[in-house]
Amino acid sequence: MGPMNDSSDLSSEMEVDAFRRLFPLRFHERHLLESIRPDGRPLGRARDTTLAFGAVASADGSALAKIGCTTMLAAIKMEVMTPTVESPNEGCIAVEFHMPPICSPTVRPGRPAEVAPVVSKQLSDTILRQVVMTFSGMIDLKDLSLVNGKAAWMAYLDIYCLDADGALFDTALLSAVAAFCHLKFPMVSLNDDGRVVVVSGESKGGKSGKEAVNKEQRKLNLISIPFSLTCTLHNNYILADPTAEEESIMETLVTVVLDSSLQLVSFYKPGGPVLAFTSAVMVSSDLQKAII
Amino acid sequence: MADLRLLRMRCYWRLAVFRTGAVNAASGSAYAEIGDTKVIVSVFGPRESKKAMMYSDIGRLNCNVSYTTFATPVRGQGSDNKEFSSMLHKALEGAIILDSFPKTTVDVFALVLESGGSDLPVVISCASVALADAGIMMYDLVASVSVSCLGKNLVIDPVLEEESYQDGSLMISSMPSRDEVTQLTITGEWSTAKIHEAMMLCLDACSKLGKIMRSCLKEAALASQE
Amino acid sequence: MEVDRADGRTRNQLRPLACTRGTLNRAHGSATWSQGETKVLAAVFGPKAGTKKNENPEKACIEVIWKPKTGLIGKPEKEYEMILKRTLQSICLLTVNPNTTTSIIVQVVNDDGALLPCAINAACAALVDAGIPLKHLAVAICCCLADGYVTLDPCKLEEQRTKAFAYLVFPNSLVSVRRKGSLQVEIEPVEHGIITSVTRGVMPVEDYLRCLERGRAVSAKLSEFLRRSMQVQAPSDSPTAG
């Protein structure tokens, strides 16, 4: 092992777990030399991803996404509201990302995690993309209108992190998109006062359907579907879909979000050592395409 | 009515599902689903107590219960539930061998994903499975069951709707194999005879629930051995 | 290049830059940075003994506190704090003062677009003023994409009208930085690298690469300005970053 110094001698004597804890960086560098990661993945491989729709019965749309051990539960609740004067024919979406204390040993009750508001902001940016003039969002807010100027849908999207093990944003976005796919508008009707109210009651449901069904009961039309991939960069290695341990040791994180038409939605790299970017951008987006 | 109750009794343990190892990042965790009530509990520790804490020969237990915003039919705030947190603490405190981890703290955090009635009993039972999963020493598992009094009838493991109409409620957390009660709460209007009946009903259900919890842990242990 | 921006600039032209060091005398280091009407004041306190929360026996800790012009701190500000923190962490030599905390307080004086880049520049100048050991300086720039063109350093109005924009942070391009060979592994020249990138809105990958190219080109100019203003005001100071 070339670049290893004193610790490599130690490593032969030490137990693997102890070495991992005491010299985390060297432990990982040692793996990188062999182009393999501690969990047995090659560098460019993402973890197994699973998706389950309708995990929350009390919500109008919900999904549970899992990437490796990272688990996110997203649920949407719809409420009828009066649209704003500025945009009478548009609904509204509120995105909130929560990291309850159950998800990670670093989160304590009463002291919200530092990353929670940041992920929350990133998510709402990605989903809503509030850039005026040109419309480019994932969802046409006009689809959320019920009666022009009178009533529109307010969609509350809440994403709960149940288990945090790296790639939080990726998993959260996946669960959010899946929840919107699963979303079914509740029935509404006009009551005696001429106001729009939600009618409670069961309704028959198809699962896939992407086209709008009818005025009363329909699915949301998703214009473009964003996919995200986080990578860590360490020297000239690129590791796709890092675990929490990898994220904490290798500081450079890059999150690339592409949508279904392969447009770049976000290229997010907060700090970290400088990197030879052009190649990295290319590789990350290539990896991304491979995963889609 | 008695028939209905029996029916509910049977349903009770058909619908109770426990799974350990729900959260990988925690030292121990469990997911419980009883009817529509869905709960995840993570246990962290024993780990370093907060710096401000005084020295203590015995371990500390720290509990927190919170709800998701979509747990209740009407979208809530999803904040901490202080009352449930302290109730959970009291229900578990007596069952954990605190001497086994001096100076340190065990954190028990619960998140109610969906509230379908009898939330606290489910949280307590789930927490004791999670503690066992984390390898925290306990005298016994804590099984918890509540009974609602609706007029003349007793309903075990009430659902949300029944809870909203109840005249009184009784909850028992017990350690079934030791035949000991760690917590008993009674609220509302009760006659002595009714209390007696409800308690018997609860204790019986607790021992049945305890068996389900135990078998879940056994399964998990067997699976990990293989 | 035709002049077609509201304020008469060309697409590649920056707004007038201004930088003042040592604005506050209580702080260990401070600086104001303005780009046109956008103005940010940054103050640095530290290195001071590490607080319990930020204790790290091996590295110094950077803490960023964002003060909006009015109102309370919200989610966007939290995000800015995090980006600033990560960015500054990567330019500071954290191993020089282990187990200390350095606080950077960023006060927005006026927001007229490109706020985050302006804040990063201000914070960087303040760090130099405080004499915090840095690997190199960083310069930040905002690139806007509108009608297929890349526009640099937009004002608020332009920012609102664009399809997408990117905040980019580059390392200082003058290579008078003393190389810490053991700490840095250089694959390409440092100034070609990118420290931070944050984008909003949808754009084709090629456009992003064009943004990078433009941004990098103009960052040389910016970093020259930063360096100059550092030297002019403190000729006798021991050079901390150059």
Confidence of residue A7 (pLDDT cuts 50, 70, 90): very low
Residue A186 and residue A173 share a domain: yes
Say what the pLDDT of residue C236 is: 46
Taking an 8 Å cut-off on Cβ atoms, the answer to whether B68 and A75 are in contact is yes
* Residue, of A172 and C175, whose pLDDT is higher: A172
CA distance B153 to B208: 21
Confidence of residue C6 (pLDDT cuts 50, 70, 90): confident
A-B contacts at Cβ under 8 angstroms: 81
Look at residue A10 and tell me if it is in a domain. no
* Residue, of A18 and C1, whose pLDDT is higher: A18
The structural domain count of chain C equals: 1
Taking an 8 Å cut-off on Cβ atoms, the answer to whether A69 and B25 are in contact is yes
Residue A93 to residues A55, A148, A223, A261, C46, Cα–Cα distance (Å): 20, 17, 15, 23, 42
Say what the pLDDT of residue A48 is: 84
Look at residue A87 and tell me if it is in a domain. yes
**How many angstroms separate the CA of residue A165 from the nearest CA in chain C?**
19
Look at residue C7 and tell me if it is in a domain. no
- For residue A130, pLDDT over 80 is answered with no
Taking an 8 Å cut-off on Cβ atoms, the answer to whether B111 and A102 are in contact is yes
Does A248 contact chain C (CB < 8 Å)?
Answer: no
The predicted model gives A167-180 an average pLDDT of 90
- Give the 3-state secondary structure of residue A157: strand
The predicted model gives A69-90 an average pLDDT of 87
- For residue A8, pLDDT over 80 is answered with no
Last residue of a domain, one of A146, A180, A199: A199
Which of C87, C217, C59 lies closest to C153, judged by CA? C217
User: What are B5-35's pLDDT values in tens digits?
Assistant: 444 554 455 578 899 988 988 999 999 998 8
The structural domain count of chain A equals: 2
- Give the 3-state secondary structure of residue A151: strand
Residue A141 and residue A41 share a domain: no
Look at residue A80 and tell me if it is in a domain. yes
Which of B190, B132, B143 lies closest to B12, judged by CA? B143
**How many angstroms separate the CA of residue A166 from the nearest CA in chain B?**
11
Look at residue A258 and tell me if it is in a domain. yes
User: What are C105-142's pLDDT values in tens digits?
Assistant: 999 999 888 899 999 999 999 998 888 888 888 888 88
Please state, for a pLDDT cut of 70, what percent of chain A lies above it: 73
The pairs formed by C9-14 with CB atoms below 8 angstroms and a separation of 24 or more are C11/C149, C11/C150, C11/C151, C11/C152, C12/C152, C12/C214, C12/C217, C12/C218, C13/C152, C13/C153, C14/C152, C14/C153, C14/C218, C14/C221, C14/C222
Of B40, B73, B107, nearest to A162 by CB-CB distance is B40
Look at residue A11 and tell me if it is in a domain. no
Look at residue A104 and tell me if it is in a domain. yes
What residues in C contact A263, CB-CB < 8 Å? 202-205
Confidence of residue C54 (pLDDT cuts 50, 70, 90): low
Which of A103, A98, A89, A206 lies closest to A150, judged by CA? A89
What residues in A contact C201, CB-CB < 8 Å? 129, 131, 136, 265
Average pLDDT of chain A, as a whole number: 75
**How far is Cα of residue B168 from the mean position of the Cα atoms in its chain?**
19
Which of A168, A180, A142, A162 lies closest to A228, judged by CA? A168
Please state, for a pLDDT cut of 90, what percent of chain A lies above it: 11
The predicted model gives C72-95 an average pLDDT of 86
What residues in C contact A224, CB-CB < 8 Å? 202
Look at residue C136 and tell me if it is in a domain. yes
**How many angstroms separate the CA of residue B42 from the nearest CA in chain A?**
5
The predicted model gives A167-173 an average pLDDT of 90
Say what the pLDDT of residue B44 is: 93
Residue pair A175/A74 in contact by the 8 Å Cβ criterion: yes
What residues in A contact C204, CB-CB < 8 Å? 263-264
Residue A281 and residue A153 share a domain: no
Taking an 8 Å cut-off on Cβ atoms, the answer to whether A274 and C171 are in contact is yes
Residue C205 to residues A90, A261, A279, B142, Cα–Cα distance (Å): 30, 11, 13, 57
Highest mean pLDDT among B90-99, B161-170, C55-64, C202-211: B90-99
Does C207 contact chain A (CB < 8 Å)?
Answer: yes
* Residue, of A258 and A163, whose pLDDT is higher: A163
Quote the tokens at residue B118.
């009898």
Taking an 8 Å cut-off on Cβ atoms, the answer to whether B70 and A56 are in contact is yes
Domain containing C128 — which CATH number? 3.30.230.70
Does A274 contact chain C (CB < 8 Å)?
Answer: yes
DSSP C66-129: EE-SSS---HHHHHHHHHHHHHHHHHB-TTSSTTEEEEEEEEEEE-SS-HHHHHHHHHHHHHHH
Nearest chain C residue to A282, by CA = C205
* Residue, of C205 and B221, whose pLDDT is higher: B221
Confidence of residue C187 (pLDDT cuts 50, 70, 90): very low
DSSP letter (8 states) at residue B154: E
Look at residue C213 and tell me if it is in a domain. yes
User: Which residues numbered 124-183 in C keep a CB inside 8 Å of some CB on A?
Assistant: 160-164, 166, 171
Residue pair A220/A180 in contact by the 8 Å Cβ criterion: yes
Taking an 8 Å cut-off on Cβ atoms, the answer to whether B109 and A100 are in contact is yes
Say what the pLDDT of residue C209 is: 79
* Residue, of B135 and C73, whose pLDDT is higher: B135
User: What are B40-53's pLDDT values in tens digits?
Assistant: 999 998 988 877 77
User: What are A110-128's pLDDT values in tens digits?
Assistant: 777 778 888 888 888 888 7
Quote the tokens at residue A130.
């509030």
Taking an 8 Å cut-off on Cβ atoms, the answer to whether B109 and A109 are in contact is yes
CA distance A250 to A255: 14
Taking an 8 Å cut-off on Cβ atoms, the answer to whether C82 and A114 are in contact is yes
Look at residue C238 and tell me if it is in a domain. no
Say what the pLDDT of residue C172 is: 72
The predicted model gives A140-153 an average pLDDT of 79
- Give the 3-state secondary structure of residue A280: helix
**How many angstroms separate the CA of residue B53 from the nearest CA in chain A?**
15
Instruction: Give me the domain span that covers residue A254.
Output: 35-45+226-291
Residue A277 and residue A177 share a domain: no
CA distance A285 to A282: 5
What residues in B contact A155, CB-CB < 8 Å? none
**Quick count: other Cβ atoms within 10 Å of Cβ A278?**
14
Say what the pLDDT of residue B5 is: 46
Look at residue C240 and tell me if it is in a domain. no
Residue pair A224/A260 in contact by the 8 Å Cβ criterion: yes
Instruction: Give me the domain span that covers residue C222.
Output: 17-232
* Residue, of A88 and B120, whose pLDDT is higher: B120
- For residue A178, pLDDT over 60 is answered with yes
Does A98 contact chain B (CB < 8 Å)?
Answer: yes
Please state the ipTM of this predicted complex.
0.85
**How many angstroms separate the CA of residue B26 from the nearest CA in chain A?**
6
**How many angstroms separate the CA of residue A4 from the nearest CA in chain B?**
30
Residue B87 to residues B36, B90, B93, B108, C229, Cα–Cα distance (Å): 22, 5, 10, 12, 62
Taking an 8 Å cut-off on Cβ atoms, the answer to whether A271 and C200 are in contact is no
Domain containing A113 — which CATH number? 3.30.230.70
Element at A142 (helix H, strand E): none
**How many angstroms separate the CA of residue C119 from the nearest CA in chain A?**
14
Look at residue A129 and tell me if it is in a domain. yes
Phi, psi dihedrals of residue B188, rounded to the nearest 5°: 85, -160
Topology of the domain covering B2-225 = Ribosomal Protein S5; domain 2 (3.30.230)
Confidence of residue A203 (pLDDT cuts 50, 70, 90): very low
Please state, for a pLDDT cut of 70, what percent of chain C lies above it: 82
**How many angstroms separate the CA of residue C170 from the nearest CA in chain A?**
8
Taking an 8 Å cut-off on Cβ atoms, the answer to whether A121 and C75 are in contact is yes
Does A73 contact chain B (CB < 8 Å)?
Answer: yes
Confidence of residue C184 (pLDDT cuts 50, 70, 90): very low
Look at residue C35 and tell me if it is in a domain. yes
- List b or e across C193-204, with b for residues whose CB sees 16 or more CB atoms inside 10 angstroms: bbbbbbbbbbbe
Quote the tokens at residue A211.
């086209």
User: What are A228-284's pLDDT values in tens digits?
Assistant: 888 887 776 778 888 888 888 877 787 878 777 667 777 777 655 555 455 555 555
Average pLDDT of chain B, as a whole number: 87
Look at residue C56 and tell me if it is in a domain. yes
Mapping DSSP onto H, E and C, the string for A74-98 reads EEEEEEEECCCCCCCCCCEEEEEEE
- Total-model pTM: 0.84
Last residue of a domain, one of A180, A199, A218: A199
- Give the 3-state secondary structure of residue C235: coil
CA distance C165 to C146: 9
Does C75 contact chain A (CB < 8 Å)?
Answer: yes
Of C76, C86, C193, nearest to A275 by CB-CB distance is C193
Taking an 8 Å cut-off on Cβ atoms, the answer to whether C83 and A259 are in contact is no
